[in-house]
Amino acid sequence: MADERDERLAHLGMIQAVITRMAEESARMKQFALAAIGVLASTAAGTHSAALAYVAGALSVIFWLLDARYLQQERWYRALFDQIRADTGPTDFCMAPNAQIRQRHALIDTLRGWSVAPLYGTLVIIALLVAQTVGTLATPTS
């Protein structure tokens, strides 16, 4: 009985390490995205390059997808943690979330999540506004 409990605690510790790693990578992704998009948008504004602003917008979407994927996997492992915690009997040390867990946490739901949609949506809007403003300034008026 004590061995099963120790094994379960070890298994939960392994899952918690994955959850922590996913959360750290998500935070790192946000930091890098803010820096990269900020540099691209300010460079686009300074050089009057609408194309560079559109690149910043496209890069924002790519970061949005990557960060949502980290968040999705974090949710998978949180659900796996809850499942293992509630189970009785010996653990098999399985680290793969089952199909039911994966279906419950779809990528589209994480794309609209409160921790990614406002940030990356704002970055996309800023990039598009910079592109529009730069494009308007670059167009000669008669």
Q: What is the pLDDT of residues 120-140, one digit of tens each?
A: 999 999 999 999 998 776 555
Q: Round the average pLDDT of the chain to a whole number and report it.
A: 89
Q: What amino acid is encoded at 35 in this protein? A: A
- Is the predicted pLDDT of residue 37 greater than 60, yes or no? yes
Whole-number pLDDT of residue 139: 58
Strand ranges, E, within the chain:
none
Return d(Cα 81, Cα 78) in angstroms, integer. Answer: 5
- Is the predicted pLDDT of residue 90 greater than 50, yes or no? yes
Answer yes or no: are the C-beta atoms of 23 and 74 closer than 8 Å: yes
Q: What is the mean pLDDT of residues 17-21?
A: 93
Local structure of residue 97 (DSSP, 8 states): P
- Is the predicted pLDDT of residue 142 greater than 60, yes or no? no
Q: What is the mean pLDDT of residues 86-103?
A: 84
Q: What is the mean pLDDT of residues 106-113?
A: 89
Query: Between 122 and 6, where is the model more confident?
Result: 122
